[in-house]
Amino acid sequence: MCEGIARRSPASPADLWDGSRHPRARLEERAVARFHQAVSCQCLTMDSLRAEADALEAEIKALRRACVELPAPGEDTSPVRQSFQDIYQSDSEGWESLKDLRSHLGHVESELQFLSSLTGISIRNYSKKMEDLTSTEMTEKNIKKVLQRHRLSGSCHMITFQLEFQILEIQNKENLSSVITDLSIIMEPTEYSELSEFVSRTEERRDLFMFFRSLHFFVEWCEYRKRTFKHFKEKYPETVHLAKGASSSYMGIRSHSRPEFELVIVWRIQIDEEGKVLPRLDLLTKAPLSALELDKNRVIETAPLSFRTLLGVLGIEATLESLIKSLCTEEQVPTQ
């Protein structure tokens, strides 16, 4: 097994085709959900903090006006004293509220930082605009209708993204309902073609949580594939071939003593309709025609099916190790 790889594997061999059942996968999914909540909470807290700052600015302006309008000597100063008392009281309450908001914001930012380190998702920029759509008729019925426009940018490890979405919020006496009415996702060009179709489906379904969850597990599998390929290339440099380096999606296995035979491992990472991330490994064989004619037991022909069966029994790393050793001579296999 690869040192330092199995420990970080997104799923054990038994959970190869369904990473969500793995304990670590369940923990990470909960972390992604908490990350989504923390982002929303931070946005709301920032709005409250801005409102408090605006209120304090208004109080400062009122205080300045009171200073300018000081009465002449001998005039009644009671109205001014009352004005100063009101401003001081309001100002004290405002600072206390602002202090609580800053404390809460600090807690949210700390939690968000922790979740970012756990999920790999970080938010760099965020902005929000609100539009009041409440009509006169709605006001009479105590119904409030607000359209929120959000824009944020961030990254998940090496993949960067920008999100623009709208939330329609309707509030009455009994409850508050909100729904995402529009979602647009812009991703930087990457070598991961699988993400293009996933982004289109996410925009169509307007599912923010699915976007964050699937992106997180997709990157996890990409990193695991990269570490695995790099490990075997370093361990078997003469036998393992990576045309595009460790970030390649396929790995060639070829022996110098039998160069006419080659095995190619194609490792795709797929995202299904529900956003579940699934690894798919296939084996391609390359052999001379003469060898195929002599293969009466159809070993080469059935190798891809046997490979998938072996994956379910041994797991990814042990299966790749056994294939590499099958093409290595005794001298080429490193001593354990």
Q: What is the pLDDT of residues 145-160, one digit of tens each?
A: 999 999 999 998 889 9
Which of 161, 285, 179, 146 has its CA nearest to residue 218?
161
What's phi and psi for 47, nearest 5 deg?
A: -65, -45
Contacts of 285 (CB under 8 A, 6+ apart): 262, 263, 264, 300, 303, 304
Which pLDDT band holds residue 15 (cuts at 50, 70, 90)?
A: very low
Adjacency order of strands within the sheet including 250-254: 240-241, 250-254, 262-271, 277-286
Tokens of 183: 């979602």
The residue that leads in pLDDT, 58 or 221, is 221
Name the 3-class secondary structure at 50.
helix
Task: Tell me the β-bridge partners of 236.
Answer: none
Highest-confidence segment of 27-31, 93-97, 232-236: 232-236
Average pLDDT over residues 120-124: 85
pLDDT surpasses 70 at 14: no
Q: Which residues neighbour 20 within 8 Å (Cβ) at sequence distance 6 or greater?
A: 26, 29, 276
Would you say 157 and 120 are in contact if contact means Cβ atoms under 8 Å apart?
yes
pLDDT surpasses 90 at 300: no
Please state which of the ranges 27-31, 171-175, 326-330 shows the lowest mean pLDDT. Answer: 27-31
pLDDT-based confidence at 4, cuts 50/70/90? very low
pLDDT at 322 over 80: yes
Q: Which of 265, 262, 231, 257 is nearest to 328 (CA)?
A: 257
Q: How far apart are CA 127 and CA 321, in angstroms?
A: 49
Q: How far apart are CA 333 and CA 134, in angstroms?
A: 74
> Does 126 or 229 have the greater pLDDT score?
229
Residue 303's pLDDT band (cuts 50, 70, 90): confident
Q: Are 252 and 237 in contact (CB under 8 A)?
A: no
pLDDT at 8 over 60: no
Q: How far apart are CA 192 and CA 282, in angstroms?
A: 18
For residue 9, pLDDT over 50 is answered with no
Kindly tell me the sign of the dihedral angle through the C-alpha atoms of 266, 268, 272, 277: positive
Q: How far is CA 210 from the centre of its chain?
A: 9
The model's confidence at residue 190, banded by pLDDT at 50, 70 and 90, is confident
Amino acid at 2: C
**Alpha-carbon 99 to chain mean position:** 32
Name the pTM for this structure.
0.69
Tokens standing for 70?
């000081």
Enumerate the domain spans of the chain.
1-119, 123-189, 219-327
